[in-house]
Amino acid sequence: MKKTASALAASLALSTLLVACGGGGDDTPVTPRAAASASDNTQFFNRVATFAVCAQLGSSCETREETAAEIVAASTDGMTLIYTNSPKDEVGFVDITDPTAPQALGALAMGGEPTSITVRGEHALVAVNTSASFTVPSGKLVVVNIATRQVVHEINLGGQPDSIAISKDGKYVAVVIENERDESVTTANGKGFPPQLPGGKLVIVDAVGAPNAWQTRDVALTSLVMPYPTDPEPEYVSINDNNVAVITLQENNHIALVDLVTGTVTRDFTAGSTSLTQIDRTYVKSVPTELSLTESLTDRLREPDGVTWVSTSQFVTANEGDLSGGSRGFTLFNADGSVAFDAGNTMEHLMARIGHANDKRSASKGNEPENVAAGRFDRTDYLFVASERSSVLAVYDLSTANQPTLKQVLPSAQAPEGVLTIPSRNLVITASEETDPVAGKPAIFAALNIYQYQKAGPSYPTIESANRTDGTPIPWSALSGLAAAPTGALLYAIDDAFFKSNRIFEIDTSVTPAKLQREIRITDPNGLIAALATSLPGTASSSAFDATDLPALVNNTDKSVNIDPEGIAIASSTYGGGFWIASEGALGKSANLIFKVSATGVIENIIQLPSDVTAKQTSNGFEGIAEADGKLVVAFQLPWTGDMANHARIGVYDLTTQTWSFMFYPLDVVTSVNGGWVGLSEIMALGSNRFAVIERDNQAGPDATIKKIYRIDLTGKADGSVLSKTLVRDVLPDLRGTRGHVLEKIEGLARRADGHVYLVNDNDGLDKGHGETQLIQLGRLFN
């Protein structure tokens, strides 16, 4: 759906009205009122609740229906949220009287696809697309009584609406009529390119008297000096205190200003371009990849999407891009079209620093800033920038003229579209549209995220990286294992198979957020993986590791390796120090292997499973590793062929005799309404032959029911024994305590030297996920 940016406009527009009515919204002009903006280092925004849109359909989101939350508005008192749900052709209502406990109030059918929304007094104004086709566009403005949740009036708009905004004085409603193009159609300029008629326009609704008395005026946006003058494709609109609307014409890389009183275009200009250095613009699945931050883009068109006034003379655009643009940041423009500030590569670096860089989007538009909003909280003016592909909301302090300063970054549900500020209640809301309700698999839930301005420090991110020598942040993501140094506050983590050229990360937990301060690349300069081939069969089999699997493990000219690290443990001095790495095998592609690596990441030894055990693999393998009492203990995630039903293997490798034995761990029964599986994700040594394991289901959000830490004791257990387990902690409350969706992949567990236990999740490198990484301190759980 190409509604994203324009829909966002609606939410911005709402803010102006909220200010007029004592509330606040994302179009709120931040022109100084009683005093100039002043920075405040005592207050920060923190997430206090996440409302899954599917909760409108069932308290536990039992349904697998597709839902969305694209644009969000609020009642004038700020107590009720109204959001657009395009897949269901409806708007939804949420009670946020208590913002920490939002309550579903139901939904209202719109008779078409709602694309944007704002509020005027007691009414929500909804732009609805009723088009029969791209070439026969149509739409309407639906006026809804918020209290009764009933339609009171409809106004024909004469085309397909996208964004909507309302003036602070309530006199004018500006509706952008995009008349969206068909991206499957090839024109003289290329597939999906303009011009594709009919062209769009701006509709001004003169909101005088009762809704049934409102009149409309059309403002033509054609014939401006831009690439496709017959097809302006207006995308987003915002209105300042002087009743001047700023409109982004994204595909034309153009911006227009319209005086709403006279209905005339008073100024228009190109959005221009910018050049970027030290970014990653490459992603090829079949070759080694990581976020290199060494590439450049020259003269990249901004192609702005969302827009908001920050005063009567300046506005900010979110430069998402569309056709061939996307500068991966935002721009502060003066009303004459000159640039006062451009974010350059800073948002790309921000995402890399906090683990939210979406490498699969590197070759396209990077983090894709989608929307912007502004608001004054207490005496400080803030800008909020939503990143669609990195699923965060970046917050900037606007107190210094022409120099937005990053204050913090907030985690969001996947693909935030709409942003709304409510300064009167110290609240900010994002609407995230992405949803994937496939039965049995981890679901993605469209949601409203609620953030509160508090006298408290920021709770996110929980990990951020230091800089490399070239001044760029150490890029990281997909943490799939955790281990603690024998002394001090250092933890070690690894990235998994999502990235090639795997690394070990050193994390200092003595500071907040924890500092990822060093990266150690795993390398095989001595060719131990290749040497393994001499003892292996030369033809592929369905499960056994053989010579044909070697390219999957190492194919890099710098001797780095492409494995699937899922577990990490500190190697004791008896074995030369360094690390043990458990690499998960992929059926018919690679083996479950243990790598002994030095403190500098060089592979020193490789340990295999017995061939008869490897032949049993039918599902996920190694998921964690621990060293204790001269043995390595590995956790298998799921049962293998011929094993006891619902029992996962615990493998024990005697480092002296170099022999394996196996015990069987009883898994909890699946209890999620969405089905799926339950398995092991980590193992950690506790001493005296005792170990802690993470047991979890493969479900997220409201579907998640099993996220637990159990203790097992291997004392006196012979090969083939069935283990018993003791619950140490149900970590679902800890995961819910982040006020976001429950994270699926809790995969790292480590006990620091002072006894504090840390839990971390694997964010899968933002591959079909929102990328949130939570490093959670659980306290001293073990004696």
How confident is the model over 678-699, as pLDDT tens digits?
A: 999 999 999 999 999 999 999 9
- Cα 666 → chain centroid: 34
3-state class of 416 per DSSP?
A: strand
Using 50, 70 and 90 to split pLDDT, how confident is the model at 774?
very high
Tell me what pLDDT residue 62 has: 78
Residue 336 pLDDT:
98
The confidence band for 9, taking pLDDT boundaries of 50, 70 and 90, is very low
What is the tens place of the pLDDT at every residue in 379-432?
Answer: 999 999 999 999 999 999 999 999 999 999 999 999 999 999 999 999 999 999
In the numeric block, which tokens belong to residue 341? 């500030």
Q: Which residue has the tokens 């690349």?
A: 521
Report the C-alpha gap between 782 and 214 in whole angstroms.
Answer: 68
Do 695 and 759 touch, CB atoms closer than 8 A?
Answer: no
Whole-number Å distance between alpha carbons of 749 and 479: 11
Side-chain half-sphere CA neighbours of 611 within 13 A: 8
Record the pTM.
0.94
CB 125 within 8 A of CB 154: no
Give the model's confidence band at 776: pLDDT under 50 very low, under 70 low, under 90 confident, else very high.
very high
Contact predicate 311/31, CB 8 Å: yes
Residues 6+ away with beta carbon under 8 Å from 376: 24, 28, 30, 33, 37, 382, 423
What CA–CA distance (Å, rounded) separates 633 from 683?
Answer: 8
Q: State yes or no: pLDDT of 200 exceeds 80.
A: yes
| Nearest alpha-carbon partner for 594 in 649, 557, 556, 633 | 633
Whether pLDDT at 514 is above 70 = yes
| pLDDT at 549 (0 to 100) | 58
Q: Where are the alpha helices (DSSP H) in 536-662?
A: 550-553, 611-614
The answer for residues whose C-beta is within 8 angstroms of residue 261's C-beta and 6 or more apart is 172, 243
Q: Across residues 47-51, what is the average pLDDT?
A: 98
Helix (H) or strand (E) holding 234: none
The identity of residue 593, as a single letter, is: L
- How far is Cα 651 from Cα 774, in angstroms, rounded to an integer? 29
Integer CA distances (angstroms), 227 to 161, 194, 631, 651, in order: 22, 9, 68, 64
Q: Cα 762 to the chain's mean position, in Å?
A: 13
Rounded Cα distance, 141 and 130, in Å: 11
Q: Which of 30, 751, 41, 92 is nearest to 401 (CA)?
A: 30
Contact (Cβ atoms closer than 8 angstroms) between residue 202 and residue 176: yes
CB 700 within 8 A of CB 741: yes
Averaged pLDDT, 443-458: 96
